[in-house]
Chain A
Amino acid sequence: MDQRLAEIEGLIARVALRDRAAFSALYDRTSAKLFGICLRILNDRAEAEDALQEVYLRIWHRADRYAANGLSPMTWLITVARNLCLDRLRARRAPMDDIDTVPEMADAGPTPEAAAVAAGDRVRIAACLDELPADRADAVRRAYLDGETYQDLAARFGVPLNTMRTWLRRSLLRLRDCLSR
């Protein structure tokens, strides 16, 4: 883990102990990154600001769980931000749905070994996406960065939902094989 990540990990550990100075430092180092992600997903500045507030409150309250979840520190922060913004996006898109029925994305709490697997993955995703047909790689990126669902992607690519699902599932298997090579 490089020095910057080690520093962020140290800050998260101190935030878990309710260290406000560490929280402030963590915010200064990571908020632009997470705000960029919220803006990208939500495409609405005011809502992205609200979401970012929620993101940091969740980080404050859940930092004690970080040590157990096995993710690298930036992945954890990105995942918290992305999940919260996706929850908001889904709630906005389905105003007729009872909001309670939209499940909150759970932060995975995997075993510590995952962290070791993780480091090698970071550089590979771009290369592995390049091995997929361009439109499939595009679909994966749109799902991750824009929160597009199978439905959105099926409409975008002009194919039936199940066709989209099959395409993407095959692509995810190939991606997994590539990432674990």
Chain B
Amino acid sequence: MTGDRDIPPPGEFPGDGSGEAPDTVLAAEYALGLMDAAEARAFAARLDAEPALRRLVAEWEEGFAPLADAVPPVAPPARLKSRIEAAIAPAPVLAPRRRSWGWLGGMLAAGAVAVAVLLVLPVRQVTVPPSFTAAIAATDGSLQLAAALSGDRLRVERLAGSAPEGRVLELWLIAEGATAPVSLGVLPEAGVADLTVPAALTAAFAGGVLAVSDEPPGGSPTGAPTGTVLATGAITSL
């Protein structure tokens, strides 16, 4: 749907309240929470498939949000923050999901250390301009991603396509002259991933290639791609 022409002027609106409403009204009803469970479920299913509808809901959410200014802030009890921080505390062992990077050998003396760093390093700079980019695409265009490395942050945006059913997408760096790819991490289901890349690897971006393979949930169990390489893209230095 494209908008205005689907919306009758108020006077022509179906009078009994049971007729089909234009999408913008449904989006408002959904954003307000006026729908009953069945209606909301049906609408949510449409949202998954229709970006234009998601945009309508977002516009309403943005429009309604200032109404919350009328609600006085109330400081929650201090113990609540401790409870929440405890709930997100890191699990004692983070490493098992990651594979050994030792095979990188000569290219990366610091390889083993990099494993943990990739997972948890907090990033201090958020506004460094990108130094490398890559358009990672399948030859038939069915999967397309845009990657940009800024400092040690690699932002990967999925523009088209998704992982095959029951699989995940894993991102690999194939350094210039390297014999094997090195994993940069499993991409989340969300369209945008922000990965932290160890310094030893950012140094290998120049002249390299980024590739995406499909892997079992949790990523390749072997440290090398085990599934199909779905898309590749040469890294461009900016």
Contact = CB atoms under 8 A, between A and B. Distances in A.
A7 B44 CA distance: 31
Interface in A96-147: 97, 101-103, 105-106, 108-111, 113-114, 117-118, 121-126, 140-141, 143-145, 147
B178 to A, nearest CB: 26
A92 interface: no
Interface string A57-81: 1001010110111111011001100
A110 B51 contact: yes
Contacts of B81: 24, 27, 31
B211 to A, nearest CB: 22
B110 interface: no
B75 A172 contact: no
A43 interface: no
Contacts of A32: 73-76
Given A32-B74, A118-B62, A57 B87 contact: yes
Contacts, number: 224
A22 B123 CA distance: 10
Contacts of A37: 68, 71
B54 A122 contact: no
Given A22-B122, A108-B47, A170 B13 contact: yes
Interface in B30-57: 31-34, 36-37, 40-41, 44, 47-48, 51, 54-57
Contacts of A165: 17-18
B70 A145 contact: yes
A128 B175 CA distance: 57
B105 interface: no
A72 B62 contact: yes
CB-CB nearest 9 A-B residue pairs:
A162-B17, A165-B17, A110-B58, A32-B73, A118-B62, A110-B55, A19-B122, A166-B17, A108-B57
